[in-house]
Amino acid sequence: MSNLGQLIEIPTHGDERGSLSVAEIGGVLPFVVRRAYWIHGTKPGVARGFHAHRKLNQFCVCVSGSVRIVLEDAKGREDVFLNRPDRGLLIGPGVWREMHDLSADCVLLVLADGEYDEADYVRDRQKLT
């Protein structure tokens, strides 16, 4: 359950071979992806994020390990725990995000609808409207 993000069950084909999870246009992926990144090898105790985006949409999946994501806007703050490769979290513009408690084996995949643009970042939480 999340009010600030949208939790999405990712279709997963599991059989005797193992599992394959799919996010595609026409399925659970709501935009074409122009930027993909993955966070890995995070040191113990390190938190990341601490920004919002003005326009960017992101689809986040913890494909290995676990992470606690904190979402916040002017109305509230909440924790979302991601620890499954078949669960996505869609985060839209104007939502502050922090990543905490990344496990040693955490790989957090982020699919985004735009390339890196420093002007799209809000790094001062006080400026969230």
63 binds a copy of itself (CB under 8 A): yes
51 is catalytic: yes
Q: In the bound complex, what is the minimum distance in angstroms from residue 37's beta carbon to a copy of itself?
A: 4
Q: Which residues, numbered 7-36, are part of the site for a copy of itself (CB under 8 A)?
A: 14, 16-27, 29, 32-36
Q: Please, which of residues 76-105 interact with a copy of itself by CB under 8 A? A: 85, 102, 105
Examine residue 48 and tell whether it contacts a copy of itself (CB under 8 A). Answer: yes
Residues 6+ apart with CB under 8 A from 114: 34, 35, 55, 56, 57, 120
Q: Please give the Cα distance from 70 to 77 (Å, whole number).
A: 7
Residues 90/58, Cβ–Cβ less than 8 Å: yes
Exposed, middle or buried: residue 4 (CB in 10 Å: 0-12, 13-18, 19+)? buried
Q: In angstroms, what is the minimal distance from the CB of 129 to a copy of itself?
A: 28
Q: Are 92 and 55 in contact (CB under 8 A)?
A: no
**Residues noted as catalytic:** 51
Could you list the residues that contact a copy of itself (CB under 8 A)?
Answer: 14, 16-27, 29, 32-43, 46, 48, 61, 63-64, 85, 102, 105, 107, 109, 111, 115-116
